[in-house]
Structure 1
């Protein structure tokens, strides 16, 4: 085994509480490389364990045996984790780069506190500097401080296991009013990144304590995201983790905040799907109705078409209405939580600024050394101030926009240059008056995290919480509501609300996973269980759940619809007809209920009962192809071939479904037009991607209908040969 495999196996043994096995595995490593970190502690653990074994072998009772064994497991885990970090700093690109940037920074507690607190006083003293030297002094101060923060960030996220003293120090530092918020936010992100990639109980405790006590929402929300993503399933050798989680979730406020965080995680993970939707459905219309064009000389306004203005005097007004409608759609997506900017800004992360990992986590501030050239190019800070104070972009997107503007400022039309910095510059999509509320702060931070894990050059070296990259001994996952650590906690009280959200967005796989982690007497829980079984292809198992809900609420249409749908999919047409009849009693004019009841009756061979109803529906909804589809099948089963053929021709000439070719083929076969029937069956196979075996299955499913026209099993085999 190589070093990575040895360490991974040792971690696995420890998580299984097999201390002896873990010692044997690590012995291989230390025997080959005795100078490795933690060798002395390893020998001490091995010696203590042997004493335990000898003591038990002599038959002595020991009331402390359990706690001592747990302590040895924890001590050996820390040794193994430190070995793993040490190995990564030499062999994994992201760690090696950060280890080099940290450059053996002095991370003693006194030194770190002194530097961070001195910066605050140094900034205050700048106002006392003579005006002619103040700018240069400010430049030097911020460059020196950014260099320190960069090194500290890289030192922290690649740090080994923390002690209790480390945890206490950083907890106090992150809650201190004498350290600027931006520095605290960067430190929280560094601790989070470290704990996410290598479990560390003391870093986890630090993040929890900061979340509980921080008054600064920016620090608090980063700490919340950090401790949630730092949870490791199966880490039973550190029972404090689950104890802390249980205590946290006993607070209704925390449970509610975790619920909104979980929903935000889902929206963040859908960033690329949302971008595809915007590019496909929204942006083409926005560009088409915009009066700007991009040419060789930059962005220019389109010249007005005089003839267009004469012939279509309301054209401008219509274009504006269409533009506003598309912008409103994007605003609605944004209000729901969608990351509507990812697609645009993902192309703007190639600036050298983003080569430094710390910059992905640094709050946007005007004195960042990298923004000095931007300010010089723009001439003032008005636009950047608007970007910082009024926009709802995430931090890294703000930097991207600033650098992009620096590059194109000379190519912009004069009227746009004049508008830069005004309140209206960012437009309705980007402007926000609520940038400081907890939900907005957390949303933009998650967007920063998502961009980092998707776009940073060496991001594949990390455990990616948004997508399991297979790195490390643990699995990253943002669906924390399903974690074993949260089962049986106060979080169970809000899981039904999350379940309803997942159902609304048809995330049925996630819903199925969630429902197994809790139970509820609420009828909605039973109904969701029913629909989940249907989505998993187990419609026959859905009945008891819908019946349970209907015992409590007999007229619950959601439950009745689910039961009827389950009956149709289970081919239990008697039950389907009965339930749709109940639904129609509650809502007599519901078209879908009527259509589905007709389908059930047709499957039961009761065609005469649906003819009149279907003709009425076809008259009321002449453009509804589904009504025509059911009516055509009714005519086919009722041996009204001419009417059926007419309806199928209508369906095939408009927007045919795959099944229309199959059923039209039956119709032509029954009429004796073999050539046309063969063509239609072949078209069905081509459209659906099926072969003659699937076609034979369809023939068998529709045996009763085919028999009405004297089509036998032998005829079916011969037809397959004709089609084949």
Structure 2
């Protein structure tokens, strides 16, 4: 069957159900079942339709039925469940579906009529169990019991139980099944950390994908509410929430590492020349002599590299994913990762696809125990280590073994239960994120990270996590990660009367970062009212006023700041800038001379003095300052403005020379457009501008 055909029919069913048109939905279900030739399901749909028609007929006769609403809810719920069954039947019938291909492969291996319960046993191959679970439809009562028994059996390794929970998560996200959700609920409070992490993460992911469906099962929501009475459950939910938010930063971190951190480190190393004949101790000595310190630039100012590294160290300490980019290529290189089960297999050197004796490799042990890698990255490193070096008898191999022989590996650090839980949670969420973004057949699975990840937006978590302090903690957490849009949405949930000065500052900053200066200004004004004369608030309020074009208000803020910091050259420059926009040039000069006196080496005040002189027709003075500016690392804009000064001062040849110096970064036919009004006001004509353009562009 054409895939689009059954998807179109299934869409009709869901839209009818969402529109509260149950009778129409049942009719569409009958048509979908007939189209898919799923006669057993059609028979059940027919029975459901007959029962609903019977209830409607009693209602039409005015019969009193106190169970009517409950029955209607049951009909709707069952209609959704049958729609799920038929959606899966349609998926299986597709010739191109990865889901269908995997199911057919499993049937060839285990027999077309294999039973899921038979694979939920200690004797079944683990990969077959995993595949059978994630490919399964809605569980029967017997299958749900078999899964529960598997989780309770002492003879089943924890790693295998963990794989069952992950497979159930994948399956329940793809095709909703309340039985699988109950399995996750059953294990969300168990003592074993690996299982508790996977169960809690799984039930939250399934809930995010199917929140509207779960609302039809009040008994399930009731269990969640009971669990929320346990402080440990709520605190672990909060930890999961922070880790999910951190996952949103993964792409930004990867981009920053590639575009900022690594290039700057390479730039630092460019002058370091290492003789290949040097030994390890000699190289270390040369590195020490090079004083490879990222803290300062050559001119003694704090370096960008230092800022980036501090930020990324802080992110790593909080559980951010720093290794996605590093291991991406390896995930695509090794066939190991073409198997879905391997992405979720808890790390163990006894994995059946890893060679025996790997635990004796000191390099592997060093990385596995100390690098903070998620499980799938640990497998990546092991597979990579097996190929480095390939020739065990080579000089390279001998030197590596000799170098590692004397290393006394530290014993794994002892961690308390809370630390172990956080590490396990970090590893699992990062591994899940990698699967959703790197697995070769990822399009066949639901990606929860593409959904709204704020748990409190879903019932009943909205009541479980409605604590105001928790909301602020979540907002502060993502604010520190520069996720300003998400932080803004969280801060705005805090009632107006409960907003502190600090919260208003951060909310205003979120709006400032997305260039909504009007809203940012209003929030900064509220913050200033709560705590007047705050240096930080006034500076940002001034910036917003300036960007909003309100230079009087911006000047007022800078004046207040200048009273507190009268020796600040930058403030004097900002005061002058506002006065220039207000065309109060005489006052502006006063502040420009002050800024130049306080910081004569910066060059910024000289640029502003030159421009202000130009605006006030003081061309000799403008020329004096532009001469200084052009002698100190000038920009194309400096040459452009200096060209104006020369032209208006009567030195046309010099103007042409300066304009041509500005043109490599400008449009030759329009380089005068931005300053046209100023030049015309100074006495030049349209013809003058046209001829100068042709002269310079020639």
TM-score category of the 2 structures, normalised to the smaller one: 0.7 to 0.9
Aligned equivalent of 2:302: none
1:220 and 2:162 equivalent? no
Higher relative contact order (CA 8 A, sep 6+): 1
Q: 1:621 to 1:393 in 2, by over 3 A?
A: same
- Any idea what SS the aligned residue of 2:440 has? coil
How far apart, CA to CA, are the structure 2 residues paired with 1:395 and 1:159? Answer: 25
Aligned counterparts of 2:430 and 2:271: Cα–Cα separation in 1: 29
Query: How far apart, in 2, do the equivalents of 1:717 and 1:228 lie?
Result: 67
Q: 2:288 aligns with which of 317, 330, 333?
A: 317
Please, which of 323, 330, 333 is the counterpart of residue 341 of structure 1?
Answer: 323
**Closer, same or farther: CA 42–515 of 1 in aligned 2, 3 Å:** farther
The answer for the alignment partner of 1:136 in structure 2 is: none
Deviations 1:392-443 (A, max 9, x none): 222222222222222223253423213448766799xxx9765962222222
Query: What corresponds to 1:365 in structure 2?
Result: 348
* Contact 1:392-1:432 within 8 A present in 2 as well: no
Q: Are 1:260 and 2:236 matched, yes or no?
A: no
For residues 349-370 of structure 1, the C-alpha deviation after alignment (integer angstroms, 9 at most, x for no partner) is 2222222211111122222221
Deviation at 1:71, TM superposition (A): 1.7
The equivalent residue for 1:596 is: 574
CA-CA distance at 1:102 after TM superposition: 3.5
* CA positional deviation for 1:625: 4.8
Alpha-carbon offset, residue 303 of structure 1? 0.7
Q: Deviations over 1:293-329 (max 9, x none)?
A: xxxxxxxx92129xxx9xx997442347459998976
Could you give the per-residue CA deviations for residues 258-296 of structure 1, whole angstroms, max 9, x where no partner exists? 4422332233343532441443233675798697xxxxx
CA–CA separation in structure 2 for the residues paired with 1:355 and 1:275: 27
Deviation per CA, 1:73-101: give whole Å up to 9, x if none: 22111112222233334435431343245
Q: Report the 3-state secondary structure (helix = DSSP H, G, I; strand = E; otherwise coil) of the residue aligned with 1:43.
A: helix
* Residue of structure 1 aligned with 2:47, choices 31, 34, 44: 44
2-structure distance, mates of 1:424, 1:285: 31
Q: Do the aligned partners of residues 287 and 652 (structure 1) sit closer, same or farther apart at CA in structure 2, a change above 3 Å counting?
A: closer
Change (3 A) 1:313 1:49: closer
Does the CA contact (< 8 Å) of 1:70 and 1:237 recur in 2? no
Which residue of the partner structure matches residue 278 of structure 2?
Answer: 304
Does structure 2 retain, via aligned residues, the 8 Å contact 1:546–1:562? yes
1:508 corresponds, among 473, 479, 484, to 484
Structure 1's 609 and 280: CA in aligned 2 closer, same or farther, altered over 3 A?
same
Superposition map of 1:526-545 within 5 A: 526-545=504-523
Hey, what's the Cα distance between the residues in 2 that align with 1:459 and 1:396?
Answer: 15
User: TM-score scaled to structure 2, two decimals?
Assistant: 0.80
Q: Aligned partners of 1:9, 1:445: CA distance in 2, in Å? A: 37
Aligned pairs (5 A) from 1:536-685:
536-648=514-626, 651=629, 660=638, 663-664=641-642, 666-672=644-650
Distance 1:549 1:379, change over 3 A: closer
Equivalent position of 1:192 in the other structure: 169
Supply the distance in 2 between the matched residues of 1:13 and 1:421 (Cα, whole angstroms): 69
- Whole-Å separation in 2 of the counterparts to 1:518 and 1:168: 44
Residue 66 of structure 2 corresponds to which residue in structure 1? 63
Instruction: Give the counterpart of 2:336 among 353, 368, 374.
Output: 353
Query: Following the alignment from structure 1 to structure 2, what is the Cα–Cα distance between the partners of residues 530 and 225?
Result: 33
Relative to structure 1, the CA distance from residue 569 to residue 382 in structure 2 (aligned partners, 3 Å threshold; closer, same or farther) is closer
- Partner residue of 2:77? 74
CA distance in 2, matches of 1:205, 1:214: 14
Pair 1:210 & 2:199 matched: no
- Residue number in structure 1 paired with 2:429: 446
Aligned to 1:96: 100
C-alpha distance in 1 between matches for 2:323 and 2:85: 39
Q: Compute the RMSD of aligned alpha carbons.
A: 4.3
State which of 67, 84, 87 in structure 2 corresponds to 1:84. 87
Tell whether the 8 Å contact from 2:208 to 2:452 is kept in structure 1 after alignment. Answer: no
Name the structure 1 match of 2:381: 401
2 CA distance for matches of 1:655 and 1:481?
53
Moved more, 599-608 or 360-369: 599-608
Does structure 1 conserve the Cα–Cα contact (< 8 Å) formed by 2:327 and 2:380? Answer: yes
2:36 pairs with 1:54:
no
Which ranges in structure 1 are unaligned for 5 or more consecutive residues?
A: 120-144, 292-300, 469-475
Higher mean displacement: 395-404 or 336-345: 336-345
Secondary structure of the residue aligned to 1:370 is: coil
1:465 equivalent in structure 2? 448
How far 1:166 sits from its partner (Å)? 5.4
Q: Distance in 1 between matches of 2:273 and 2:173?
A: 44
8 A Cα contact 2:626 2:642, kept in partner: yes
CA distance in structure 1 between the partners assigned to 2:633 and 2:167 by the alignment: 55
Q: Per the alignment, do residues 2 and 324 of structure 1 end up closer, same or farther by CA in structure 2, a change over 3 Å counting?
A: same
User: For each residue in 1:548-598, what CA deviation from the matched residue of structure 2 results, as whole angstroms up to 9, or x when unmatched?
Assistant: 222222233333233212210111111111112223334444454443223
- Shifted more, 418-427 versus 169-178: the winner is 418-427
> Deviation digits for residues 178-202 of structure 1, max 9, x if unmatched?
5322112211211222233333344
Cα shift at 1:673: 5.3
Q: Per-residue CA shift, 1:665-719, capped at 9, x if unaligned?
A: 5434533456776787788787477984x975x447xx5x557634578977887
Query: What whole-Å deviation, never above 9, does each CA across 1:440-462 have from its counterpart, x for those lacking one?
Result: 22222233223222322111222
Gaps of 5+ in 2: 297-304
Equivalent of residue 418 in structure 1, options 375, 382, 402 = 402
Q: Tell me which moved more, 235-244 or 527-536.
A: 235-244
